[in-house]
Structure 1
Amino acid sequence: MLNSIPADWLFGLAGGLLIGLAGAVFLLGNGRIMGASGILGGVIDGSGKANITERLVFLAGVFLLPILLQPMSGGVDTHVNSNLAILIAAGLCVGVGTRLANGCTSGHGVCGISRFSLRGIVATAFYILAGGLTVGLFRHVLGVV
């Protein structure tokens, strides 16, 4: 049945449900928000030494689970740009943006909005706006992506 309909939206729905479930389990189990940039940042800058094992297990799951699930998906075309310079620049921009916003999409967007956090709602609105403007500029004005 999946072969007869475009399955991209199913993968997005499944991914969104899994991220929401992970955020709920993390909050209920630890009493803390599942902000991926904060978890990674605590490993990089050393501020997360008190719970380093938990952080490393979380990050291992984030990086390894897609690799493990890839054979079951039949290969999903992500439309990722093959230009390495653009990928590096985009990654650096996202990293700087998460530091400026004191969080990322999982912290503000998933966990913040679900808790009706004004800070999370405002941050999410701004990063969605910034992302839309960036795509518009780079795709339609500069023709880079």
Structure 2
Amino acid sequence: MLIDLASFTPGLSLAGGLVIGGAAAVLVLFNGRIAGISGILGGLLSLPRRDMAWRVAFLAGLVGAPMLASLLGHPAIADIDAGWGQILAAGFLVGMGTRYASGCTSGHGVCGISRGSIRSLVATATFMAAGFVTVFVQRHLSGG
């Protein structure tokens, strides 16, 4: 296994994790809400719409932060080796999984585990196992 040292940024990764954890803690302490992206977005899409201001602000921050980083000279460049059909299918499957798991990786992994939720621990372990299997199949069994 080779590590691309130009992309190996443990300091920035740690800082990002601390910011995400801090933001999740602030949201639950001051607003009593879980920072799960699927639940936040789902609250905007369902009727009746409640608590719109903080939901819009949270999602605007998710979109705005990479845009601000790009303006400051640190663009987030994604190198996705997939076509639009694969991307749409993956998005659909992730959306289905999010509904079946009653939350997404951010809600279960960041917020649920920190609250000691067994359901979140099982969901996060399942997400991780599915990711490990997918990478293994793609790299070793797909023939490509």
TM-score band w.r.t. shorter chain: 0.7 to 0.9
5+ long unaligned stretches in structure 1:
none
Shift of 1:106: 1.3
1:70-89: CA deviations, max 9, x gaps? 24463455433352222222
Letter in 1 for 2:46: D
Letter in 2 for 1:21: G
Query: Is the CA contact (8 Å cut-off) linking 1:81 and 1:87 kept in structure 2?
Result: no
Of 26-35 and 86-95, the range deviating more from structure 2 = 86-95
Q: Which residue of 2 aligns with 1:19?
A: 20
Q: Which residue of 2 aligns with 1:123?
A: 123
Distance change in 2, residues 1:82/1:67 (3 Å): farther
Identify the structure with the greater helix proportion: 1
Shift of 1:54: 1.6
User: TM-score, normalized by length of structure 1?
Assistant: 0.83
Q: Which residue of 2 aligns with 1:132?
A: 132
Aligned length: 140
Of 89-98 and 116-125, the range deviating more from structure 2 = 89-98
User: TM-score, normalized by length of structure 2?
Assistant: 0.83
1:53-76: CA deviations, max 9, x gaps? 221111111111111112446345
Letter in 2 for 1:22: A
1:93-131: CA deviations, max 9, x gaps? 211111110011111100111111111111111111111
CA distance in 2, matches of 1:33, 1:92: 23
Give identity over the alignment, percent: 46
Q: Which residue of 2 aligns with 1:9?
A: 10
**Highest relative contact order (Cα 8 Å, sep 6+), 1 or 2?**
1
